[in-house]
Structure 1
Amino acid sequence: MIHINMFSSADKVAGQGVGSAYLELIRLLQERLADQFDVTINHYGQADITHYHTIDPQFFLSTFSKKRGRKIGYVHFLPETIEGSLNLPGFAKKVFYAYMIKFYKRMDHLVVVNPIFIPKIVAYGVPEDKITYIPNFVSPVEFPNRDQAAKEALREKYHFPQDKFIVFGSGQVQQRKGVDDFVKLAQLHPEVQFIWAGGFSFGKMTDGYDHFKKILDDPPANLLFPGIVKRSEIADYLNLADLFFLPSYDELFPMSVLEAFSCGVPVLLRNLPLYQAIIAGDYVEAPDLAGFDQALTKLMTDTDFYQRYQQLAVSTAQQYSPAHLADIWQHFYTEQAKL
């Protein structure tokens, strides 16, 4: 049996996708591959493979021990994806970015969640043959596509009208996530209920904290900010919603989009190149606020258009199911253990 040790602090900060991806992988290994892999977490003893999910300094120091076995690094972010997330002084930012890349270079192999980032990592000096693309995934048990009766019951539970069109978004409240456009679209459509689940996972270090704090303290009447909520509540909000809307300017592979697909909810996104590499054609896309406005109106008034993207959500979810990804991770870990 192959011993894999996971080094991670991803689940210590609530409301971020890195933690969700980490927990999904742990569950996958424990439920589907327990007969092949012995998994430990934050264990400093001997291991065949050590998989680093976060880049904590103490984890970096551990890479110098011969007990680590094959060192695998999970690339959930790059310097360019941090921009618009954290507000750091110039010098601190420079040091942090240099440390991030140094951490990645300490690995024997890297896993990326979006193939578009492979050339970017190569540009930092990592050989391409040391990088593997394995997408994120979501459990349909955690994020089920509930029937109509259950959806109606959830609206009643959370006190939303049955006939109201509901737009849901989730993620950290920060500049990079495009929260401003989410708020502006809510202002353009007072007849629609908007909900954004998430908050300031990194407190006042969040980019645009003062600006967004004012919005959260006094949002439009049709916009609800429930704050950072449990994953089970995210699943509830998705099932009572008519549309998932994420106007991010930059992502790797947002777990929130996979969660929406898993719940059978149509998805509206900014038309970023990174999405073309993984879910092209499976979501409604627009370049800006005017485009989001047009897309929302069409989704609300064109039944065929809406049902098309509802069906695409269901079919796309199958591509990123635990069953499919279990085979990929089983092969990857087995091959890495041989090296």
Structure 2
Amino acid sequence: MTKEKIKVNMLSSSETVPGQGVSGAYRELMRLLKRDAREAIDLTENKRIKADITHYHTIDIPFYLSTFRKKRVGRRIGYVHFLPDTLQGSLRIPRIVQPIVAKYVTSFYNRMDHLVVVNPSFIEDLVAFGIDRDKITYIPNFVNSEKWFKPSAEDKSAVRKRYGWKDEDFVVLGAGQIQKRKGIDDFVTLAKTNPDIQFVWAGGFSFGGMTDGYDAYKKLMKNPPANLTFTGIVDADEMRQLYGACDLFLLPSFNELFPMTILEAAACGAPIMLRDLELYRIILEGMYLPASDVSKMSEAIRHLRTHPTELNHLQSQSEKISETYSEERLLETWLDFYRQQADLK
């Protein structure tokens, strides 16, 4: 039987890179476990200690080497925040190096005793890497309701005034790292073809010059269309205010796992439109507006702008997202998971 308190050691370097989703997901899980699981879990971070479970959040080489010390690290749990394919369009990786990086990522995941995915659509990809399906568990992301919530009407008005938007302006917000995979090019196209609508992208280059398309996007940020604002990387409080002040949150990404920005936007009451990807259909079916390409996105934006009732309905669907992926529900899921894994040690 599992002993009363499970020793879980978290290994992560995600906090060293600001403005990216892995860090956000890691912070939320750590906060929840520290606050609500102290009686069940003895939690440590980045320690070289003996543990019942070592939970790997990033794939650093020192972490990889630690997996060979099975008696010390205990049950090895890997958190799958990305796959080799999702690195393409994110980082500027020389073509000759790409197969090496892909092999390393898959080797890291194969070193784990069990994997946690944030989206069930990626289970098949991991199975294709040779990982036993029974060694993979789906546990979705979640956000802190005390940190991400709807702003007051006064706060919303103040934010719009600060950014130079009129009360009657229709504002479309995008968020995330500025990289090709995120659909930045389509977002810019939308701004150019809809000059009477305000567009804002919150986020920057978390990985600096390593970002795929860095030079072109850097130039674009310096000279965007008049109705497009690039905020750069902003802190959580500013991000919450932006979610609350926009009329529509749009994530035009081509490839994702389970973006934290969707959960944050939903918690702040923003109606949500996403590129029509299979992964969203699995985890968010009926709770967002799908659009297959940039022309459909443009058409939907203009329609919602003149149909407030439909926009309000879309906003009510965001509330369902928050309810479905609440931290209360996910706390019990994580506790059950750790107990089960500790028994297998």
With the shorter chain as reference, the TM-score category is over 0.9
Residue deviations 1:126-149, cap 9 Å, x none? 000000000000111111112323
Q: Distance in 2 between matches of 1:232 and 1:125?
A: 42
Pairwise mapping of residues 163-202 of structure 1 onto structure 2 (< 5 A)? Answer: 163-202=168-207
- Identical residues among aligned pairs (%): 49
Match of 1:267 among 267, 272, 280: 272
**Which runs of 5 or more residues in structure 1 are unaligned?**
none
Match of 1:108 among 105, 113, 121: 113
Q: Which residue of 1 aligns with 2:33?
A: 29
Q: Distance in 2 between matches of 1:87 and 1:221?
A: 29
Paired AA for residue 27 in structure 1: R
Q: Cα distance, 1:157 vs. partner?
A: 4.2
Paired AA for residue 52 in structure 2: D
Q: Which residue of 2 aligns with 1:299?
A: 304
Q: Distance in 2 between matches of 1:39 and 1:156?
A: 43
CA contact (8 A) 2:182 2:251 kept: yes
Q: Distance in 2 between matches of 1:45 and 1:91?
A: 37
User: TM-score of the superposition, structure 2-length normalised?
Assistant: 0.96
The count of aligned residue pairs is: 339
Q: Distance in 2 between matches of 1:319 and 1:306?
A: 20
Q: Cα distance, 1:223 vs. partner?
A: 0.8
Pairwise mapping of residues 311-322 of structure 1 onto structure 2 (< 5 A)? Answer: 311-322=316-327
Q: Distance in 1 between matches of 2:39 and 2:224?
A: 50
Q: Cα distance, 1:161 vs. partner?
A: 2.1
Q: Distance in 2 between matches of 1:229 and 1:146?
A: 17
Q: Which residue of 1 aligns with 2:6?
A: 2
Q: Distance in 2 between matches of 1:103 and 1:259?
A: 30
Paired AA for residue 24 in structure 2: S
Match of 2:78 among 51, 73, 76: 73
Residue deviations 1:76-112, cap 9 Å, x none? 0111111111121122211111000000011000000
Backbone CA RMSD of aligned residues:
1.0
Give the SS at the match of 1:144. Answer: coil
Whether 1:161 and 2:166 are equivalent positions in the alignment is yes
Q: Which residue of 2 aligns with 1:125?
A: 130
Q: Distance in 1 between matches of 2:153 and 2:227?
A: 24
Q: Cα distance, 1:159 vs. partner?
A: 4.0
Q: Which residue of 2 aligns with 1:277?
A: 282
Q: Distance in 2 between matches of 1:210 and 1:131?
A: 38
Whether 1:246 and 2:235 are equivalent positions in the alignment is no
Q: Which residue of 2 aligns with 1:60?
A: 64
Give the SS at the match of 1:22. Answer: helix
Q: Distance in 1 between matches of 2:138 and 2:97?
A: 30
Residue deviations 1:171-199, cap 9 Å, x none? 11111000011111111122221110111
User: TM-score of the superposition, structure 1-length normalised?
Assistant: 0.98
